[in-house]
Amino acid sequence: FTRAQLDRPLKDLDFSPLLDRMSFNDSVFANFLGALVEQANFNDPDVPCGIVGAQNPSLWGGYDYAKLCAKLQFLEPYDAGSAPEIARSLGRGRVVVASTHFHQDEPGRDSWEAWSRFAHGQRAMIGWVDDSWFDGTRPRAWLGEFAPTLKELGGVQGAKLAGARWLHDGVAIYYSHASVQVSWVLDSEAHGKTWPNRGSDDLRGTSHLVRKAWENLINDAGLQYDFLGYDRVLQEGVPEEYGVLVLPACYALSDAEARRIRAFAERGGRVVADFMCGLFDQHGRGRARGALDDLFGVAHDGAERAGDFFGDRLWVETDQDAGYAAARWGELPIVEGTTMRDGFSVAERRIEGPVARGGARYLNLSPHRYLALLAEGHAAPLHRELFLGGLELDPAVRVEGDAHPEGIRYAQGGRELLLIVQNPPLQADGSRPIRRGTVPLTLTFRAPVRDAVDERTGKPLGEGARFEVPFTRTEAVFLSYAR
**Pairing of the two strands 270-273 and 244-247:** parallel
* pTM summary value: 0.96
Give residue-wise pLDDT tens across range 159-168: 999 999 999 9
What does pLDDT average to over the chain? 93
Round to whole Å and give the CA distance between 399 and 222: 7
Please give the Cα distance from 293 to 258 (Å, whole number): 10
Nearest by Cα to 228 from 277, 272, 171: 171
pLDDT value, residue 243: 97
CA distance 285 to 332: 28
Mean pLDDT of 415-440: 86
* pLDDT surpassing 70 at residue 4: no
Looking at residue 479, what is its pLDDT? 98
| Per-residue pLDDT tens digits for 337-374 | 999 999 999 999 999 889 999 999 999 999 999 999 98
Instruction: Say how far apart CA 225 and CA 407 lie, in whole Å.
Output: 12
User: 153: which DSSP letter?
Assistant: I
pLDDT (average), residues 210-237? 96
Task: Say what percent of the chain tops pLDDT 90.
Answer: 82
Q: C-alpha distances in angstroms, 432 versus 85, 112, 360, 374?
A: 17, 11, 34, 11
Give the integer Cα–Cα distance in Å for 168 and 198. Answer: 35
Stretch 38-45: mean pLDDT, rounded?
A: 85
